[in-house]
Amino acid sequence: VSSRRKFFVGGNWKLNGDKKSLGELISTLNGGKINDQTEVVCGAPSIYLDFARQKLDAKYAVSAQNCYKVAKGAFTGEISPAMIKDVGVTWVILGHSERRHVFGESDELIGQKVAHALEEGIGVIACIGEKLDEREAGITEKVVFEQTKAIANNVKDWSKVVLAYEPVWAIGTGKTATPQQAQEVHEKLRAWLKTNVSEDVAKSTRIIYGGSVTGGTCKELASQGDIDGFLVGGASLKAEFIDIINAKN
């Protein structure tokens, strides 16, 4: 990783936990010795954002898992970047494959959400990634470049954006892209940023990997030149999350 790019580890708790279990997890995290050169963000369910921010040590940032494209209004069930900020939360995950493929969010909607969150000053973990049939058809690059373009068109300030490459076929399946497979896509994404945004943005933007990252796989993944961290699902609810945070030690 370039010295300009601070290693970044996000934990996506998804639709999991209650006050008791998350309280226990938070105690474990607060007591954990973590590399202070790594930026760590915990993605709590929206109903527990306030709880997580109040209980988690200041060394951890908190992220929402989604938000809407406007500040307020008649949008039952949604939350806005303004509300996220109001409870002291500083990040949001947008475009996660589950939002795309379970809830049908389009590239266009994700782009609009990215634009609004950044306007409100919230950091965005923007997710991209191909499905298994797309990888097998040899269109991985086409898919991830199209998704990245829809995000990039809506970004003015790249310093608040982390790109998360998550091959959909590796999420929750126990299949992990090999470090070489992941590195190859990360390298191509960085080249895309250089060509389509700027060389400076390509050098400074963190591109993190997500897809069944565990304590066992994290060190080799972290050693790849263009992998700047992780977005962790299931393992972020376990004590091994601390090992993953420290993958770059």
Known catalytic membership, residue 166: yes
CA pseudo-torsion sign 150, 139, 174, 40:
negative
The SS3 call for residue 229 is strand
* Closest to 190 measured CA to CA, from 221, 219, 155, 228: 228
Provide CB contacts within 8 A for 29, sequence distance 6+.
Answer: 42, 56, 57, 60, 241, 242
Q: Which amino acid is at 37?
A: Q
Q: Find the helix packing angle between 179-196 and 140-152, rounded to 10°.
A: 50
Of the candidates 39, 105, 134, 166, the residue annotated as catalytic is: 166
Known catalytic membership, residue 220: no
Q: With beta carbons less than 8 A apart as the criterion, state whether 63 and 93 touch.
A: yes
Distance of CA 51 to the CA centre of its chain: 21
The SS3 call for residue 164 is strand
The first and second tokens of residue 27, run together, are 């105690």
Of the candidates 96, 98, 105, 116, the residue annotated as catalytic is: 96
- Residues annotated as part of the active site: 96, 166
